[in-house]
DNA sequence: GAGTGGTCTAGACCACATC
DNA sequence: ATGTGGTCTAGACCACTCG
């Protein structure tokens, strides 16, 4: 009778999806599964691990394995300017709107542009760039890493090169420099995190990350900022609004 | 000496990230790891499985475990109308532009709107909707599932209720009905797939999915279509362009 | 202290690939 | 026919949490 671990996982998954086991509930433990299914302890362990890697459950050593909860943050890409006329409110996933990530651990320094960054910013390889690296957290839980790159020749000596760029953020400062960003291109991808990323974001196993690379352009199509973001996919729902 | 499986996985991961092992290369097999690390076979198995669930490797039973390749398709959300002035070409991830997904397995039928769909389409719960379900594939590999819902009162009896909606697709037909979609809202989320989804998309373990729910609105802000998509995250890079 | 998940071993059988 | 990954067992030790 092989395939046992998967079948146990299937059983438990069905009980989760049917609503019998609700988010936050404790799943049957390993000893319980050993008894009810007549399998070895390690098989029971693997069955639970399947649910964990699927993102359906979270293991708390010493306590139990629990059905995962999903309470995402809503990130509206067109936030700054869209008057959000059509379709505000018609959302498919419930999300806490009021929980807003706060920036922590801001680090600012100057470095040489990598090939990739240089290409995106229309710079020579090795040109100096100001790097702004920061972590965002909600209720002490990290949810996003972000690193911005700006041409050093443009922003050196301004508030943009300081940890706190002042009211309105770096975009307000860029506008004051005559380089207001008005167009944005976002490239987006989902994947599993590396070990480093998993520990930095304190991710449970089975949680993917959303990798976003946003380039900001001025009115005359000059790239002035590249922002590389890494989001905990279990904490975010992204929203985009597009018009013809 | 516990933590062995993770350490072996760390070693192999480092060799992948350093470029010593390239995409498509074969990783050391279980017997090899048993010898070089002096561990039990199952520990070697788990080490390889860690890399698989991280999406870094693909196991081919009977053959070996290989470094995964990433050759995404580019999906430009603003495709239809953006003149793509600023920043075409400045992309961060290499992507095959010419590989375009083709629709297969188109199914069209009428059903009653669920709570969710009814709310998004501004309909009464249980109102009739036309459902268009289809699968997209590239070179015989499935990459996307999509299901569209449209008010049956609007589209019943038109080409939209046929498997092949004709040139220009259903949006051209909607325009002919005086309900041309001009505004779109996309909600997006990444997560691990269910078993059903994994088999439908033929996903390797360790591959997340991108879940997109797009609502299309007419000029007078009336929702006329809800399209729920499920993308193989290992096959896609999404691009969005935003303007002030 | 009792219970939990996490991990490892040593050995076994299977289905499948490749040759 | 050989080698591969996939899985299971039975028993063991650990670190942790909880009452």
Angstrom distances, CA of residue A57 to CA of A140, A182, A210: 21, 42, 20
Q: Which nucleotides of D are covered by protein (CB under 7 A)?
A: 3-12, 14-18
Instruction: Indicate the SS3 state at residue B19.
Output: coil
CATH 1.10.10.10 range(s) for chain B read 4-67
Q: Which nucleotides of C are covered by protein (CB under 7 A)?
A: 3-12, 14-18
Question: Which nucleotide C1' is nearest A63 CA?
Answer: C4
Residue numbers in B near A119 (CB within 8 A): 90
Residue B96 has pLDDT above 70, yes or no: no
pLDDT averaged over chain A?
88
Q: Can you list the positions of beta strands (E) in chain A?
A: 57-60, 64-67, 73-76, 102-112, 128-138, 141-151, 181-191, 209-218, 223-232, 236-243
Mutation pick from B11, B114, B188 vs chain A, by most beta carbons of A within 10 Å, is B188
CATH 3.40.1410.10 range(s) for chain B read 73-239
CATH class assigned to A73-239: alpha beta
Q: What percent of chain A has pLDDT over 70?
A: 91
What residue is closest to C13 (Cα–C1')? A2
- The structure's pTM equals 0.87
CB A60 under 7 Å to nucleic chain D: yes
**Model pLDDT, residue B84:** 47
Q: Which of A134-138, A163-167, B138-142 has the lowest mean pLDDT?
A: B138-142
Residue B109 CA and nucleotide C6 C1' are separated, in Å, by: 49
Under an 8 A CB cutoff, do B239 and A87 touch? Answer: no
pLDDT averaged over chain B?
88
Under an 8 A CB cutoff, do A243 and B183 touch? Answer: yes
Q: Is A3 exposed, middle or buried (0-12, 13-18, 19+ CB in 10 A)?
A: exposed
CB A50 under 7 Å to nucleic chain C: no
Note the CATH number of domain A4-67.
Answer: 1.10.10.10
Neighbours of B153 (CB within 10 A): 11
Q: What percent of chain B has pLDDT over 70?
A: 91
User: In chain B, which residues from 42 to 61 place their CB closer than 7 Å to nucleic acid strand D?
Assistant: 42, 45, 48-49, 52, 59-61
**Model pLDDT, residue B100:** 78
Angstrom distances, CA of residue A186 to CA of A78, A88, A212, A239, B210: 11, 22, 7, 12, 16
If residue B111 lies in a helix (H) or strand (E), which one and from where to where? strand B102-112
CB B59 under 7 Å to nucleic chain C: no
What does the block give as tokens for B196? Answer: 């059903």
């Amino acid at each position: 009778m092989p395939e046992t671990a998967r079948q146990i996982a299937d059983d438990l998954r069905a009980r989760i999806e049917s609503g019998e086991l609700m988010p936050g509930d404790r799943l049957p433990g390993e000893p319980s599964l050993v008894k009810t299914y007549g399998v070895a302890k390690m098989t029971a362990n693997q069955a639970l691990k399947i649910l964990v890697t699927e993102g359906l459950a979270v293991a708390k050593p010493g306590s139990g394995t629990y059905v995962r909860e999903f309470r995402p943050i809503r990130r509206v890409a067109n936030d700054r300017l869209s008057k959000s006329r059509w379709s505000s409110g018609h959302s498919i996933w419930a999300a806490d709107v009021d929980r807003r990530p706060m920036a922590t651990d801001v680090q600012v320094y100057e470095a040489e542009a990598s090939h990739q960054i240089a290409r995106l910013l229309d710079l020579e390889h090795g040109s100096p760039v100001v790097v702004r690296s920061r972590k965002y957290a909600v209720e002490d839980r990290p949810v996003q890493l972000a690193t911005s790159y700006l041409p050093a020749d443009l922003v050196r000596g301004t508030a943009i090169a300081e940890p706190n760029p002042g009211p309105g953020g770096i975009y307000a400062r860029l506008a004051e420099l005559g380089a207001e960003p008005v167009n944005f291109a976002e490239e987006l991808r989902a994947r599993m995190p590396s070990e480093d990323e998993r520990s930095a974001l304190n991710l449970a196993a089975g949680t993917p990350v959303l990798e976003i690379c946003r380039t900001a352009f001025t009115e005359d199509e000059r790239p002035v900022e590249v922002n590389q973001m890494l989001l905990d996919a279990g904490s975010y729902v992204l929203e985009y609004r597009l018009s013809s």
